[in-house]
Amino acid sequence: MSNQLLKVFVITLLLGIMMVIPASATERIVVQELFTNTRCHSSYQADLLCDTLYEEHSDQMVLIRYHTGFPDDEDPFYNYIPEELEVKIAYYMVGFLPQTAFDGELGENTWWLWEDMLLERFGVPADLEINLGGYYLVEERTGVLDIDIIATGPIPDGNLRLHAVAFRDSAYYEDYYGLNWHNKTVFDFLPNASGKPLSIDEGDTLTYHRAFSLPTFIPKRYTGFAVFVQDQDTKEVLQGQKIYLRNFQDAEADVDMTLPPGDYIIPPEGGTVTWQGYVKNRTEMTRDFNVWTVVEFPDGEREETLKSWEVHMEPLESQKYVEISQYVPGHAPAGDYKFYSYIGTYPDIAYAWDMFEFQKAEEPARAVGSVPESITTFNAYPNPFNATTQISFQLAEPGNVQIDIFNIRGQRIANLMNGFQNSGNISVVWSGMTNQEQEASSGIYFCKIKANNKIAVKKLVLQK
């Protein structure tokens, strides 16, 4: 074979190899869930092995231990949360010990072969990235675990669940076989062992907050959290991550909101939510903090209502604010709302947050946002939009038509139509401009159509 032909052959071979190697922009963090018990000799041997594996691969894996009630139901780590642990035992149908799962795939009881399963799983590409953070209130021994999930590639359809657990290291207990120090032992599920359903597509970022409290017998420096996304049906874990409480930021400030007693229900025509607010500087220095608020709509969309309010505070000072209010317009959709308040450095650092819930009631005759008979096929396309959206509907009978755009504070920012229209198809374009010829900022808006004393409302999302 000539040198030239050899070069062509080698280049072709290399290109072929390059084409079949899968590319993954995200490193996989393998999750190992180990079922164990302090009075099982085989579990003792497996525990030692798993500690060794973790020491060798700690940057690429998460290890968590679920203690079972067999063979010894006096196992103190099982008795932290026996009901929740039984949910996990039933989910994996664990009937013998030791037993483990690597990214949801159960291993055999030949625990000396588990390392091969772990190494094999490292080579599987991941299309999710999980980032963790949070804050901790030292005096109250409470805090919040912040979770960001980013879809870096295509996510297969499935019954996905988000799982979060709290575990502890260096727990001293003299077990039957002499393993006295116990690590990665789960003592709480956030919020439960069944996890929270989630749906995510390529390019999406989801954010979750998990509140927790630390028992007095568990030291902060040995507390950690493990988070993973799992297909509930196939049991495959798509990605995992861990963080230790010692890497959290001790909260330098606190915020609290208090509603009057009882259920808070806004009437269909709209109304005002009123509460008392408290902020506290937890440092011994004079500080300037930012406070901002976010409303979460019934469909899960979130929008800032107060972007940044500066608070100047003396060392350890607390400030109280009475009769703070948020107007909820009548055209806002009916359903359950969540209202968040944050304190920190806007928008990147939140030292603390608080949340309350309220409800917007439905119209007696029809749900807010439904289409009356005189206005049909009410649509906006595209929606969400980044430049213009076309609003169209069918008018059943001639009459005066008024089309307005409102922001989430209930302020009318644009009028698109106000006059007599014949029956038939009506359409108008909103270019994202206000009545003052200013560009509306990204966010949630409401298009309100009033025709022949009938009203229809549709939510619009402007994304720039």
pLDDT for 238-266, tens place per residue?
999 999 998 887 778 888 888 877 778 88
Residue 161: name the closest of 226, 227, 238, 232 by CA: 232
Give the pLDDT confidence score for residue 144 in this predicted structure: 86
Rounded Cα distance between 43 and 41, Å, is 5
Residue type, 278: Y
- Strand 223-231 and strand 160-168: the pairing is antiparallel
Beta-strand ranges (E) seen in 29-91 are: 30-36, 61-67
The per-residue pLDDT for 8 is 33
Determine the average pLDDT of the residues in 186-206: 94
pLDDT band at 364 (very low <50, low <70, confident <90, very high): low
pLDDT at 153 over 80: yes
pLDDT at position 38, please? 86
Is 375-462 the same fold as 30-249? yes
CA distance 178 to 175: 6
Mean pLDDT of 207-230: 91
Whole-number pLDDT of residue 25? 58
pTM given for the model: 0.61
Angle between helix 114-122 and helix 41-57 axes, rounded to 10 deg: 30
Say what the pLDDT of residue 203 is.
92
Question: How far is residue 412's CA from residue 408's CA, in Å, rounded to a whole number?
Answer: 10
**Given 3-state DSSP classes, what are the helix, strand and coil percentages for the chain, each rounded to the nearest 5?**
15, 50, 35
What average pLDDT score do residues 78-107 get?
93
Q: Which long-range contacts (CB under 8 A, 24 or more apart) does 343-350 make?
A: 343/253, 343/254, 343/255, 343/279, 343/289, 343/290, 343/291, 343/311, 344/253, 344/289, 344/290, 345/289, 345/290, 346/290, 346/292, 346/307, 346/308, 347/292, 347/308, 349/249, 350/135
Average pLDDT, the chain: 85
Using the predicted structure, report yes or no on whether residue 6 has a pLDDT greater than 90: no
pLDDT of residue 15: 34
Rounded Cα distance between 213 and 397, Å, is 60
Which of the residue ranges 219-228, 410-419, 453-462 has the most confident prediction, judged by mean pLDDT? Answer: 219-228
Rounded percentage of the chain residues whose pLDDT exceeds 70: 91
Question: How is residue 430 written in tokens?
Answer: 């909103």
pLDDT at 187: 95
Cα separations (Å) of 391 from 369, 377, 403, 413, 424? 15, 10, 10, 16, 14
Contact 2, 8 (CB under 8 A): no
- For the segment 442-454, the average pLDDT, to the nearest whole number, is 84
pLDDT of residue 151: 95
pLDDT interval class at 328 (50, 70, 90):
confident
pLDDT given for residue 284 in this prediction: 82
- Helix (H) or strand (E) holding 52, with range, is helix 41-57
Which helix (H) or strand (E) segment holds residue 88: the answer is: helix 82-92
Residue in 399, 264, 392, 266 with CA at minimum distance from that of residue 329: 266
Higher pLDDT: 366 or 302? It is 302
Name the percent of the chain lying above pLDDT 90: 41
The more confidently predicted of residues 127 and 328 is 127
Range in 163-167, 213-217, 346-350 the model is least confident about: 346-350
Rounded to an integer, what distance in angstroms lies between the CA atom of residue 85 and that of residue 98? 15
Q: Which residue has the higher pLDDT, 197 or 46?
A: 197
Q: What is the pLDDT of residue 14?
A: 34
Q: Alpha-carbon torsion 36, 40, 42, 44, what sign? A: positive
Indicate whether 166 pLDDT > 80.
yes
pLDDT at 108: 72
Q: 372 pLDDT exceeds 60?
A: no
For residue 19, what pLDDT band results from cuts at 50, 70 and 90? very low
**CATH entry 2.60.40.4070 includes domain 375-462:** yes
* CATH class label, 30-249: mainly beta
Domain residue spans of the chain: 30-249, 251-360, 375-462
CATH code of domain 251-360:
2.60.40.3880
Q: What is the pLDDT of residue 11?
A: 32
Does residue 5 surpass a pLDDT of 80? no
SS3 79: helix
d(CA 374, CA 456): 10
